[in-house]
Amino acid sequence: MAASSLRSRQSPVPTTLVVTLVPAAAALDIVGGYLNGLLSLPTYLDTIGTCVAAIVLGPWWGAAAGILANIGGAVYLGPTNIPFGLANALAAVLWGYGVRSLLLGRNPYTYFGLNAVVGVAVGALGALIALVVFGGTTGHASDAITAALVQAGEALRDAVLTSSVLTSLGDKIIAGFVGLAIIRALPSSLTEGLVLPGEVGMRSLLLATAGTVLGVAVILVYLLLKPAG
């Protein structure tokens, strides 16, 4: 059974599936990022499609979708979005290898942990990009958290890192579980061989809810720290 699944995951991905799913995943990322910016949320919502592509097609196709989304999304979200394509690519690599090679999608708990790792790693890389390329501020809603931490006495570097990891952690847990729901809705022929959490039972539902609540908690923290006016 395991050997059969392994062969399925390593088999070549049909070209028709790639040319269909990669642009669709990138479009989903762009729409999510646009809505997030429209609502000025301290999340991103621009890696749900990347998650789906990375798990279904493989990590590097997911990375291609993520980079494509950041380049294409620059039309609506501004050029500051482009350098963060590297962060989306990192998320794809972690999601793709995590589920397809390390089998971290075998149950809701390991999958939750994978999403948390993606969130922290991508948040750290995002902080580095923000500091090196933009001097610590990007115009994203999470800048309010950074400003509040600096005002409280944190060094800019530490404030940017804390803000980026905090927002990315909640965001990637939300993206991971929404992405999983989309994957489970796809035809079984597209997900054959993937080791994913079983049918949603009470424990799985509670864990997914906990992940979503953590993501929402990030927004609440943002609202509490956001300067008035």
How far is residue 220's CA from residue 217's CA, in Å, rounded to a whole number?
A: 5
- Window from 45-59, 93-107, 168-182 with minimum mean pLDDT: 168-182
Q: Is 42 helix (H, G, I), strand (E, B) or coil?
A: coil
DSSP string, 135-202: TT--S-TTHHHHHHHHHTT--HHHHHHHHHHHHHHHHHHHHHHHHHHHHHHS-HHHHTT-----S--H
pLDDT of residue 1: 39
* Domains, the chain, with CATH or none: 2-225 (1.10.1760.20)
How far is residue 177's CA from residue 52's CA, in Å, rounded to a whole number?
A: 10
For 109-153, the pLDDT digits (tens) are: 899 899 999 999 999 999 999 999 999 988 887 788 788 888 888
How far is residue 26's CA from residue 28's CA, in Å, rounded to a whole number?
A: 5
Other beta carbons less than 10 A from residue 40's beta carbon: 11
pLDDT > 50? residue 9: no
Query: Which uninterrupted H or E stretch holds 48?
Result: helix 48-56
For 150-169, the pLDDT digits (tens) are: 888 889 998 899 889 988 98
Contact 38, 63 (CB under 8 A): no
Q: Percentage of residues in the chain with pLDDT exceeding 70?
A: 81
228: CB partners within 8 A, 6+ apart? none
pLDDT of residue 219: 54
How far is residue 107's CA from residue 197's CA, in Å, rounded to a whole number?
A: 4
Contact 118, 102 (CB under 8 A): no
How far is residue 73's CA from residue 114's CA, in Å, rounded to a whole number?
A: 26
pLDDT of residue 227: 56
pLDDT > 60? residue 89: yes
| Helical spans, DSSP H, in 58-104 | 59-77, 85-100
**HSE-up of residue 18 (Cα within 13 Å, Cβ side):** 11
Which residue reads 């979503």 in tokens?
A: 212
